[in-house]
Amino acid sequence: MLYPLKFSPILKDKIWGGTKLKSIFGKEATTEKLGESWELSGIEGEESVVSNGFLEGNNLTELIEIYMGDLVGDKVYDSFGLSFPLLFKLIDANENLSIQVHPGDEIAAERHNSFGKTEMWIVLQADKNAELIIGFTNDCSKDEYLEALDTDKVEDLLQHVPVKTGDVFFIPAGLVHAIGKGVVVAEIQQSSDITYRIYDFKRVDDNGNERELHTDQALDVIDFTASKNPKTAYTPDLNHITPLVSCDYFTTNMIQFDQPLTRNYGTIDSFVAYMCLEGSFIVEADDTKVIVNKGDTILIPACINEVGIIPDTASKLLEVYIV
């Protein structure tokens, strides 16, 4: 019988990474440049491995092959087969990330045999004066953009958004973006690792080489229209469900709770993932109890219709599924 599944994080060193994923979430870093923790991944060669129960040691693709719709939902399995459709990350930007853009489904399939990459972020920690780059301040033409790129002034065209803990941003494919220095986010995205880097602040690696830019590929992808209101507005509601983002690729809710809650998933025909952002809680499903701590991500198989979440302390989680 399937049960709520925990996975071993996949840790990624990055040139811009830091130490906060260790200090805030207890990730077992052996480096001072830990940039990403992939919490739940079906990316080929980077599949998450179960860390609890009798399925411990099996990876996510193997589980989908065995359990199919019972694990991910019949509708999801019919659409994606053995490919897990989402990727869940924690990201620590100790330095500015490159300014980048992601292709949508059509171009990603044509060029890379991949899904596109629409994503969302929730800011989990932000230093003083931290910011994100989200889209263009004003409508921009390709010629204006290329001229700014040639003269190192592309940042002047882009919208710099001050951020604080709890801010939420929806980043559809085509929207230019970057996580700024001093920001930690949780990211939920389509299962794709396709990124077009359009500017990288003239940074060089240990050998003195600048990282590759993807200017030509990005031109057909970038949305050059102004992005006026990049933040997702929401009002937290203690012990109730707070909707954050709903799109074709995922639905994300926030649950802040300090008392036991019951969630019924009998009508959605999808797996559900919980990302624990604060506190700790117990997930009860059938006869199974699983402890979930801050920084953990847990997968609720689609065949489990009812879940109890019992907080040890006041807790906050993201609830993610596909509709």
In terms of Cβ atoms closer than 10 Å to its own Cβ (0-12, 13-18, 19+), residue 155 is middle
| Residue 303 Rama label (left phi>0; alpha psi -120 to 50; beta) | alpha
Active-site residue set: 197
> Dihedral, CA atoms, 121, 122, 125, 131, nearest 10 degrees?
50
> What is the spatial distance between Cα 85 and Cα 310, in angstroms, rounded to a whole number?
28
Q: How far is CA 268 from CA 9, 149, 251, 303, 323, in A?
A: 27, 45, 11, 11, 6
> What is the spatial distance between Cα 70 and Cα 134, in angstroms, rounded to a whole number?
38
Which residues, in sequence order, are bridge partners of residue 283? 290, 309
Of the candidates 242, 218, 217, the residue with the CA atom closest to the CA atom of residue 232: 242
